[in-house]
């Protein structure tokens, strides 16, 4: 729920082009390194950038997606998808328990229920993506389910994708040494 599809992808592509430098739409280092600046940067990187937007130019960062009518339509219906994501768990909780309490608790339960991480197809392990953005796998530790990596693996075995960059033990050790 970080904005319409085309805006989100444009922001994300710009973020990777300028990671933690001037031009990154949600860098935590924009305000300096003092404790107050770090706190302000933490807020900005996680939520603040959504409210104080430096809008990314979609024509520059997502011209390929702008040419796809279906994606443009999905992006324009952002308000609908947001409403469904907010209301559906609440509605189900209210109907199952026939109470307002059930509706309220279902709203929060859905946001923090671990199987929802599975529905994200591995996006829950997003820090790996920042440490190694070319890796096909985000969940690299034991028990980190990464469905999108499994889909890529199947597509690779079928010959539909190639030159996939999988994290080798050596690459993982190098990343661990940097952090």
- In tens digits, the chain (179 residues) has pLDDT values of 778 999 989 998 998 888 878 888 888 888 888 999 988 988 888 778 878 777 899 999 999 999 999 999 999 999 998 888 788 888 888 898 999 988 888 776 655 454 555 666 666 666 676 677 778 887 777 777 788 888 899 999 999 999 998 888 877 777 666 55
What per-residue confidence (pLDDT) applies to 174? 72
Where is 43: in which H helix or E strand?
helix 35-43
Which DSSP string do the residues of 140-151 spell out, in sequence order?
Answer: -STT---HHHHH
What per-residue confidence (pLDDT) applies to 119? 62
What per-residue confidence (pLDDT) applies to 159? 94
Q: Give the C-alpha distances (Å, rounded to integers) separating 98 from 41, 88, 90, 95, 105.
A: 43, 15, 11, 5, 12
Domain ranges, ordered by start, for the chain:
1-74, 77-113, 119-179
């Amino acid at each position: 729920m970080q904005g319409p599809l085309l805006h989100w992808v444009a922001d994300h592509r710009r973020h990777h082009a300028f990671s933690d430098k001037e031009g990154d739409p949600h860098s935590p280092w924009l305000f300096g390194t003092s404790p107050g600046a770090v706190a302000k940067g933490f807020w900005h990187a996680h939520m603040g950038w959504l409210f104080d937007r430096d809008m990314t130019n979609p024509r520059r960062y997502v011209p390929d997606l702008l040419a796809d009518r279906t994606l443009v339509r999905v992006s324009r219906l952002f308000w609908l998808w947001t409403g469904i994501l907010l209301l559906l768990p609440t509605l189900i909780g209210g109907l199952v328990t026939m109470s307002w309490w059930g509706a309220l608790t279902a709203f929060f339960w859905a946001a923090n229920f671990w199987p929802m991480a599975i529905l994200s197809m591995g996006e829950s392990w997003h820090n790996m993506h920042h440490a190694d953005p070319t890796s096909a796998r985000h969940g690299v530790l034991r028990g980190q389910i990464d469905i999108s990596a499994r889909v890529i693996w199947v597509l690779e075995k079928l010959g539909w994708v190639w030159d996939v960059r999988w994290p080798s033990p050596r690459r993982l050790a190098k990343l661990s040494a940097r952090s």
